[in-house]
Amino acid sequence: MSERVLAQGFSALGRIPGVAFVLVALFAIFASMSPGFSTAPNLSNILVQSAILLLLALPMTFIIMTEGLDLSIGAVLTLASVVLASVAVSTGSLPLAFVAALAIGLAFGLLNGWIIAWLDIPPFVATLGTLGIAQGLCLVLTDGQSIVGMPPALHYIYSGYLLGIPFPLVIAAVAYVAMHGILYHTRLGTYVPALGGNREALRHAGVNDRLVLAVIYGIGGLMAGVAGLLLTSRMSAAHPTAAIGMEFDAIAAVAVGGTQFERGEGWLFGTLLGVITIGVLRNGLNLLEMPSSVQVVCVGLLVIVALFLDGMRKVQE
Amino acid sequence: MSQAEAVAPKFKITLSRDVIDVAYRLLAVALICIVLSLVSDAFLTTNNLLNVLRQASLVFFMASGLTLVILTGKIDLSIGATVGLSACVAATIIKSTGSPWIGGLAAICIGALVGLGNGLMVTKLRIPSFIATYGMLWVAQGATYYYMSGQSVYGFPPGFRALGSGYLLGIPIPIYLMVVFMLLGNFFTKRTTYGQQIYAIGANSVAGRLSGIPVNSRLNLVFILSGAMAGLASLIYLARLNSAEGDIGETLTLPTIAAVVIGGTSLFGGVGSLFGTFIGGLILTLILNGMNLLSLNANWQPLVTGLIVLLAVWLDMKTRSKTDSN
Amino acid sequence: MPPGNVHSIARMTNLATIAPVESDGGPAAPLLELRGISKTFPGVRALDNVSFPIWAGEIHMLCGENGAGKSSLMKVLCGAYVADEGELFNHGEKIEIKSTLDARKFGIAVIFQEFSLVPYLSVAQNIYLGREFQGKIPGTIDRQKIRSEARRVLAMIGSDIDIDAQVHSLGVAQQQIVEIAKALSQNARILVMDEPTSALSDTETEHLFGMMRRLKANGVAIVYISHRMAEVFLLGDRITILRDGKMVATVLPHETSPGDLVQKMVGRKVDAIHRRGANMKAGEVALDVRGLSAPSGIADINLQVRAGEIVGLCGLVGSGRTEVARAIFGADRITGGDVTFFGKKFTGGPDKATQMGVALIPESRKAQGLALIRSVGDNIVLAALDKLFPSRVFHPSKARHTAETMIKKLRISTPSPRRTVQVLSGGNQQKVVIGKWLTADARLFIFDEPTRGIDVGAKAEIFALMYDLVENGAAVLMISSELSEIVNVCDRAYVMREGRVAGELPRDRLTEENILQLGMHHE
Amino acid sequence: MKKAILLISILSVAGFTAGPVLADGETVAVFTKNQTNPFFESIRVGATKAAASVGVKVIQYVPIKPDSIPEQLSQVEDAIVKKPNALLFTPVDYKALVPAIEKVTAAGIPVTGLTDKLAGGQIVSFIGAEDYRLGLETAQSLLKAMGGKGNVVALEGVKGAISNTDRMKGFTDALKEFPNVKLVATQPANYQRLQALQVMENIMQTHAQIDGVFAANDAMATGVVEAMSAANRKAFIVGINGSQEAIDLIKGGKMHATGSSDPFMQGCLGMLTTVRALRKMPVKKELMVTPVIIDSVNYKQYDVPVATRSCPKIDDVATN
Strands (E), C295-335: 298-306, 310-315
pLDDT at residue number C280: 62
Residue pair D40/D90 in contact by the 8 Å Cβ criterion: yes
Q: Strand pairing partners for C243? A: C246
Total residues found in chain C within this entry = 523
* Spatial CB neighbours of D283, under 8 Å, sequence gap ≥ 6: D124, D125, D273, D276, D277, D317, D318
**Under DSSP, is residue C301 helix (H, G, I), strand (E, B) or coil?**
strand
Instruction: Identify the residue with better confidence: C512 or D220.
Output: D220
Which chains does chain B touch, 3 or more C-beta pairs < 8 A?
A, C, D
Q: Rounded mean pLDDT of A182-210?
A: 89
CA nearest D106: which of B147, C317, A159? A159
Mutation for A interface: B130, B250, B256, most A CBs within 10 A: B130
Angle between helical axes of A209-235 and A40-65 (0-180°, round to 10): 160
Taking an 8 Å cut-off on Cβ atoms, the answer to whether B298 and D188 are in contact is yes
Confidence of residue B176 (pLDDT cuts 50, 70, 90): very high
Residue numbers in D near B145 (CB within 8 A): 35-36
- C contacts of A197 (beta carbons < 8 Å): 118-121, 168
Q: Do chains B and C touch (3 or more CB pairs under 8 A)?
A: yes
* pLDDT tens string D276-300: 899 888 888 888 888 889 988 888 8
CB pairs under 8 A between A and C: 82
Min Cα distance A264 → chain C (Å) is 6
Closest CA to A309 of B15, D7, B174: D7
* pLDDT score for A199: 87
89-128 in chain A: CB under 8 A from chain D:
none
pLDDT surpasses 90 at D89: yes
Contact between chains at A261 and B303 (C-beta distance less than 8 A): no
Would the CB atoms of A25 and D10 count as touching at under 8 Å? yes
Q: Is C28 on the interface with A (CB under 8 A)?
A: no
D2-128+262-291 falls under which CATH superfamily? Response regulator (3.40.50.2300)
pLDDT tens digits, one per residue of D235-266: 999 999 888 889 999 999 999 999 988 889 89
Close Cβ partners of C325 (under 8 Å, ≥ 6 residues apart): C313, C360, C362, C446, C448, C477, C479
Distance, in Å, from the CA atom of B218 to the CA atom of A271, rounded to the nearest integer, reads 33
**C171 pLDDT higher than 80:** no
Q: What is the pLDDT of residue C230?
A: 80
CB contacts, 8 Å: A207 with chain C: 129-130
Phi and psi dihedrals of D292, rounded to 5? Answer: -120, 140
- With contacts defined as CB-CB under 8 Å, which chain B residues touch D230? 164-165, 240
Q: Which of residues 272-301 of A touch B (CB under 8 A)?
A: 291-301
Closest-CA residue to B264 (of B79, B19, B14): B19
pLDDT of residue D6: 42
The least confident of A80-84, A273-277, B101-105, C64-68 is C64-68
Closest CA to B251 of A135, D290, D82, A282: A135
When pLDDT is cut at 50, 70 and 90, the band that residue D12 belongs to is very low
Q: Is C175 on the interface with A (CB under 8 A)?
A: no
Task: Return the pLDDT at B126.
Answer: 86
Pick from C489, C493, C495, C518: which is nearest to C272 by CA? Answer: C489
Asked whether A and D share 3 or more beta-carbon pairs under 8 angstroms, the answer is yes
- Number of C-beta neighbours around residue A161 at 10 A: 11
Residue C390, chain B, CB below 8 Å: the answer is no
> Cβ atoms within 10 A of the Cβ of C283, count?
13
Is the confidence at residue D8, as pLDDT, over 80?
Answer: no
User: If pLDDT is split at 50, 70 and 90, which confidence band does C43 have?
Assistant: low
> What residues of chain A, 68 to 107, have a C-beta less than 8 Å from chain B?
69
| Domain limits, CATH 3.40.50.2300, in chain D | 2-128+262-291, 131-260
Complex ipTM above 0.90? no
pLDDT tens for each residue of C104-153: 888 888 887 666 888 899 999 998 988 888 888 888 888 889 999 899 88
Rounded mean pLDDT of chain A? Answer: 88
- Of the pLDDT bands very low, low, confident and very high (cuts 50, 70, 90), residue A242 is confident
Q: Which CATH number fits domain B2-319: 3.40.50, 1.10.3470, 1.10.10, 2.60.40?
A: 1.10.3470
B-chain residues within 8 Å CB-CB of A115? Answer: 310
Confidence band for C41, pLDDT divided at 50, 70 and 90: confident
The distance of A232 to chain B (nearest Cα, Å) reads 21
- Structure confidence at residue D16 (pLDDT): 38
Structure confidence at residue D320 (pLDDT): 45
For residue A169, pLDDT over 60 is answered with yes
CB-based contacts of C34-38 (< 8 A; 24+ apart in sequence): C34/C86, C34/C88, C35/C86, C35/C87, C35/C88, C35/C89, C36/C85, C36/C86, C36/C87, C37/C73, C37/C76, C37/C83, C37/C85, C37/C86, C37/C87, C37/C88, C38/C83, C38/C84, C38/C85, C38/C86
Q: Are C473 and C441 in contact (CB under 8 A)?
A: no
pLDDT of residue C277: 66
Query: How much helix, strand and coil, in percent to the nearest 5, is found in chain B?
Result: 80, 5, 20
Q: What distance in Å separates residue A118's CA from the closest CA in chain D?
A: 35
CATH code for residues D131-260: 3.40.50.2300
The one-letter amino acid at A209 = D
**Rounded Cα–Cα distance for residues A88 and A264 (Å):** 40
Q: Where are the alpha helices (DSSP H) in chain A?
A: 2-15, 17-33, 40-65, 73-91, 94-117, 123-142, 155-159, 167-185, 187-197, 199-204, 209-235, 246-256, 268-287, 292-316
Question: What residue in B sits closest to D191 (Cα-Cα)?
Answer: B247
Chain C residues close to A262, C-beta within 8 Å: none
Q: Which of B268, B269, B272 lies closest to B259, judged by CA?
A: B272
- Interface residue of A24, A286, A295 to substitute, partner D, most D CBs within 10 Å: A286
Chain A residues closer than 8 Å to B301 by CB: 136
Would you say residue B326 has pLDDT above 60?
no
Mean pLDDT of chain D: 85
Non-local CB neighbours of C9 within 8 Å, separated by 6+ positions: C51
Task: Encode pLDDT of A268-295 as tens digits.
Answer: 999 999 999 999 998 888 888 888 888 8
CB spacing of B313 vs A129 below 8 angstroms: yes
Tens of pLDDT, residue by residue over B270-320, are 888 999 999 999 999 998 888 888 877 777 888 888 999 898 888 888 776
Question: A62-66, C61-65, C190-194, D227-231 — which one is most confidently predicted on average?
Answer: A62-66
| Residues making up chain B, counted from first to last | 326
Task: Select the more confidently predicted residue: B195 or C413.
Answer: B195
Helix (H, G, I), strand (E, B) or coil at D91: coil
Alpha-carbon gap, residue A25 to A17, rounded angstroms? 11
Using one digit for the tens of pLDDT, what is the confidence trace for B110-161? Answer: 999 999 999 999 998 888 899 999 999 999 999 999 888 888 888 888 888 8
Residue D74 contacts B, CB cutoff 8 Å? no
Interface test with A, best of D83, D93, D156, D169 (most A CBs within 10 A): D93
Name the residue among C233, C229, C249 with its Cα closest to residue C241: C249
- Per CB-CB distance under 8 Å, the chain A contacts of B258 are 128, 132
Question: Is A96 a residue whose pLDDT tops 80?
Answer: yes
- Is B10's Cβ below 8 Å from some Cβ in C? yes
Mean pLDDT of C334-360: 92
pLDDT at D24: 53
pLDDT at A80: 96
**Domain residue ranges of chain B, discontinuous segments joined by +:** 2-319
- By CA distance, what is D76's nearest residue in A? A286
> Can you tell me whether residue C222 is helix, strand or coil?
strand
Averaged pLDDT score across all residues of chain C? 82
Interaxial angle between packed helices A187-197 and A209-235, expressed in degrees from 0 to 180 and rounded to the nearest 10: 110
Cβ neighbors of A247 (< 8 A, separation 6 or more) are: A56, A60, A70, A71, A72, A73, A74, A75, A131
State how far residue C442 is from chain A, nearest Cα, in angstroms.
32
How far apart (Å, rounded) are the C-alpha atoms in residues C18 and C12? 10
Longest dimension (CA), chain D: 76
What residue of A is the nearest CA neighbor of B122?
A: A308
The beta-carbon contacts of C49-53 under 8 Å, at least 24 apart in sequence, are C49/C1, C49/C5, C49/C85, C49/C86, C49/C246, C49/C247, C50/C86, C50/C242, C50/C245, C50/C246, C50/C247, C51/C9, C51/C12, C51/C86, C51/C247, C52/C8, C52/C12, C52/C240, C52/C247, C52/C250, C53/C12, C53/C16, C53/C19
> Is C335 in CB contact (< 8 Å) with chain A?
no
Kindly list the residues from chain C whose CB atom is less than 8 angstroms away from the CB atom of residue A186. Answer: 139-141
Q: How far is D259 from chain A (nearest CA, A)?
A: 24
Neighbours of chain D (3+ CB pairs under 8 A): A, B
Q: Is D53 helix (H, G, I), strand (E, B) or coil?
A: helix
What's chain B's Rg over C-alpha atoms?
20
**Beta carbons within 10 angstroms of residue C268's beta carbon:** 8
The whole-number average pLDDT for the span D214-227 is 92
Closest CA to C330 of B101, B212, D221, A209: B212
Nearest CA in chain C to A194: C118
CB atoms within 10 A of CB C289: 21
D6 CB near a chain B CB, below 8 Å? no
CA gap B132, B121 in Å, rounded: 6
Q: What average pLDDT does range A36-52 have in this prediction?
A: 88
CA distances from B83 to B73, B233, C390, D35 (A): 22, 7, 35, 17
Are D and C neighbours with ≥3 CB pairs closer than 8 A? Answer: no
pLDDT band at residue A316 under the 50/70/90 scheme: low
pLDDT surpassing 80 at residue D88: yes
Of C79, C164, C494, C174, which is closest to residue C314 (Cα–Cα)? C494
Query: B-chain residues within 8 Å CB-CB of D220?
Result: none
D71-91 burial, b if ≥16 CB within 10 A, otherwise e?
bbbbbbbbbbbbebbbbbbbb
**Number of domains making up chain A:** 1
Phi first, then psi: give them for residue C319, nearest 5 degrees: -85, -5
Mean pLDDT score, C453-482: 85
What pLDDT score was predicted for residue C11?
A: 36
